[in-house]
């Protein structure tokens, strides 16, 4: 038994046994010492058979929640149970590439950073461990606290953080959909934490048009985009910035992005499934003073329009009146 693990990996799961199997297989490819794995089953079906397979390669602790708490609350349970000096995150529908943990821990070792995150590939088909990743988009944004005050920079699966209290009020999403962004805002702007980006692709975030997901609903339904827009407004209200500051120059843009997406839904026009990834560099350009309002408006409108003819990725049409979300499946 390791007295104090170097890193604790927290994996949330709910009714995705095949995804959990892939996620655990990718964790098993991480060749580091002092690693503990915690799976939090959010009152979903029994996953003992999946964990039995994983335990042939590594120790895995299971926390079975008696009632469904949702993604953010389940992740907090895992963080609270973690014994490592650092905590890493993975969801049951995403995977790590070999070397992810060693890359991040090496960047953290001896540095003044509290959080390090890597480049995250956004796959449009399921990535099997050991197979090539099919991705045309990525999250590779250098860290900028002003940009973080505008929008989230990375999926949580790419980050490893110094262990923290998950019940700290500063990291509470308070009902906002974007619980991982709320966590980074609280740690960076609430506690002065420092983050660093390592520009090496080590994780894979699945955004697959045919598979229901929380983020996918923001492209495919009016209800989904409205819930994300409301969460964005809530977090902007909670962490105010000066209107003339770098963040203040760009904060209007995510709200306009969601408006444009909702307008396309209302008109039954298709929305690009990956509009957020395409809009994030525009937010960064505005924060840096490189994009004025008029061209930004046009660029946002182009970013939310479908790119399927050029990319080969199926477009998402608005047809269902209610969102199908990762959260609503719980």
Whole-number pLDDT of residue 219: 57
Last residue in a domain, options 182, 206, 230: 206
Distance from the Cα of residue 103 to its chain's centroid: 19
The answer to the question of residue 224 being in a domain is yes
Let me know whether 157 and 93 are in one domain: yes
Question: How large is the average pLDDT for residues 213-226?
Answer: 69
Question: Is the backbone of residue 13 left (phi > 0), alpha (psi -120 to 50) or beta?
Answer: beta
Let me know whether 191 and 304 are in one domain: no
The answer to the question of residue 143 being in a domain is yes
3-class SS at 306? coil
- Which of 8-12, 28-32, 125-129 has the lowest average pLDDT? 125-129
Give the rounded percent of residues in the chain with a pLDDT score beyond 90.
79
The answer to the question of residue 326 being in a domain is no
Please give the tally of structural domains in the chain.
2
Tell me the CA end-to-end span of the chain in Å, nearest whole number. Answer: 34
Let me know whether 198 and 307 are in one domain: no
- Which of 19-23, 28-32, 39-43, 321-325 has the lowest average pLDDT? 321-325
Range of the domain at 220: 214-311
Q: Indicate which CATH number applies to the domain containing 192.
A: 3.90.550.10
| Bridge partners, 207 (sequence order) | none
pLDDT in tens, 118-175: 999 999 999 988 889 999 899 999 999 999 999 999 999 999 999 999 999 999 988 8
Are 264 and 304 contacting, i.e. CB atoms less than 8 angstroms apart? Answer: yes
The answer to the question of residue 321 being in a domain is no
Whole-number pLDDT of residue 305: 95
Let me know whether 51 and 160 are in one domain: yes
Last residue in a domain, options 175, 206, 237: 206
Q: Which pTM was predicted?
A: 0.90
pLDDT in tens, 238-296: 999 999 999 999 999 999 999 999 999 999 999 998 999 999 999 999 999 999 999 99
The answer to the question of residue 325 being in a domain is no
Confidence of residue 89 (pLDDT cuts 50, 70, 90): very high
Are 81 and 191 contacting, i.e. CB atoms less than 8 angstroms apart? Answer: no
Let me know whether 178 and 260 are in one domain: no
Whole-number pLDDT of residue 309: 43
Whole-number pLDDT of residue 218: 55
Whole-number pLDDT of residue 208: 83
Let me know whether 70 and 29 are in one domain: yes
Let me know whether 173 and 296 are in one domain: no
Last residue in a domain, options 206, 227, 253: 206
Tally of CB atoms within 10 A around 330? 17
3-class SS at 155? coil
Are 95 and 208 contacting, i.e. CB atoms less than 8 angstroms apart? Answer: no
Which of these, 218, 153, 203, 146, lies nearest to 180 by C-alpha position?
A: 153
Secondary structure (DSSP) of 48-83: HHHHHHHTTTS-EEEEE-SS---HHHHHHHHHHH--
The answer to the question of residue 320 being in a domain is no
The answer to the question of residue 322 being in a domain is no
Confidence of residue 99 (pLDDT cuts 50, 70, 90): very high
Whole-number pLDDT of residue 210: 57
Are 17 and 50 contacting, i.e. CB atoms less than 8 angstroms apart? Answer: yes
Let me know whether 63 and 160 are in one domain: yes
Which of these, 119, 96, 114, lies nearest to 35 by C-alpha position?
A: 96
């Amino acid at each position: 038994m390791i007295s104090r693990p170097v890193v604790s990996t927290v994996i949330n799961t709910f009714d995705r046994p095949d995804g959990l199997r892939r996620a655990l297989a990718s964790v098993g490819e991480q060749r580091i010492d002092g690693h503990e794995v915690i799976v939090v089953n959010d009152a979903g079906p029994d996953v003992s058979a999946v964990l039995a397979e994983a335990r042939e390669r590594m120790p895995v602790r299971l926390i079975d929640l008696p009632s469904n708490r949702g993604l953010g609350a389940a992740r907090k349970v895992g963080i609270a149970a973690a014994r490592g000096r650092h905590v890493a995150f993975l969801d049951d529908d995403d995977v790590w590439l070999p070397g992810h943990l060693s890359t991040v821990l090496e960047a953290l070792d001896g540095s003044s950073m509290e959080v390090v995150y890597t480049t995250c590939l956004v796959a449009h088909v399921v990535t099997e461990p050991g197979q090539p990743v099919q991705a045309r988009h990525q999250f590779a944004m250098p860290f900028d606290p002003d940009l973080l005050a505008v929008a989230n920079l990375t999926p949580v699966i790419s980050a490893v953080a110094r262990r923290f209290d998950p019940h700290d009020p500063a990291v509470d999403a308070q009902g906002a959909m974007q619980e991982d962004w709320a966590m980074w805002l609280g740690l960076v702007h609430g506690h002065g934490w420092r983050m660093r980006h390592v520009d090496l692709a080590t994780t894979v975030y699945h955004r697959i048009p045919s598979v229901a997901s929380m983020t996918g609903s923001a492209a495919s339904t009016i209800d989904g985009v409205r819930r994300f827009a409301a969460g964005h407004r809530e977090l902007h209200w909670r962490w105010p910035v000066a209107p003339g500051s770098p963040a203040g120059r760009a904060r209007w843009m995510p709200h306009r992005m969601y408006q444009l997406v909702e307008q396309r839904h209302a008109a039954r026009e298709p929305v690009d499934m990956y509009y957020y990834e395409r809009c994030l560099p525009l937010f960064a350009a505005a924060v840096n003073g490189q994009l004025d309002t008029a061209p930004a408006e046009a660029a946002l409108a182009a970013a939310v329009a479908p790119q399927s003819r050029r990319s080969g990725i199926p477009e998402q049409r608005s047809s269902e009146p209610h969102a199908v979300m990762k959260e609503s499946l719980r």
